[in-house]
Amino acid sequence: MSTIVTQKNDGNKSNLKLRLNGGQLTNVFKDKSLGLLKKNQLSDEDYVCNRLRSSLFINCKGDVYPCDTFAKSCGNIYENTVEEIWNDSAELKYIRNLKLGDMSSCKGCKKKGFCLKCPGISQLEEGDVMRKSRLACQHAQTVDKVLRETYVSRSLFLSIYEICVEKRNFPLGLCHP
């Protein structure tokens, strides 16, 4: 499942009104049954998109794209084989090997570890795969917020609880065993 709604490849933005707002996005990430919330943070050494490393998108005209969100073709199956495009396309190699640490526009961001950076969306909406994506930033902020509410509060509660157990002193409002 994906929470991402992008503009159309022709630049038409009419479907962006279907994007989830902040509250809706928070509720989606809080819904544990969807499995979208990950506690582990990404590092600068992680690839920007693992999907780009193992798949391609080919349209009905034979144009090959790194994925369905990219507007710029990296080859055509009527001119070259898929294997040739996969192995020889400079654009495809570049996109496939992008790591989070390569994203200079995101260098100082404290939420970068929760980023769902999509080079295709950056290219489509910001004009450059290396640009910061407003959509990715919104997602990262929401994930960070939900994780803080979900896990930091629980961790803090458990830390306080452990201290109380050790001292055998339970303040009002804190359950004891």
The string of pLDDT tens digits covering residues 96-105 is: 998 888 888 8
Put simply, whether the predicted model's pTM sits higher than 0.75 gets the answer no
Measured over the CA atoms of residue 95, residue 99, residue 105 and residue 110, the dihedral's sign is: positive
Alpha-carbon distances, residue 102 vs 14, 50, 125, 142 (angstroms): 31, 15, 19, 23
Span 60-85, mean pLDDT?
Answer: 92
In tens, the pLDDT along 5-32 reads 777 777 788 887 887 777 877 777 777 7
Say which residues have a Cβ less than 8 Å from residue 146's Cβ, sequence separation at least 6. 26, 29, 30, 37
CB 177 within 8 A of CB 161: no
In tens, the pLDDT along 117-156 reads 788 888 888 888 888 888 888 888 887 787 777 765 555 6
Sorting pLDDT into bands at 50, 70 and 90, what band is 93? very high
3-state secondary structure of 104: helix
Is it the case that residue 63 has pLDDT exceeding 90? yes
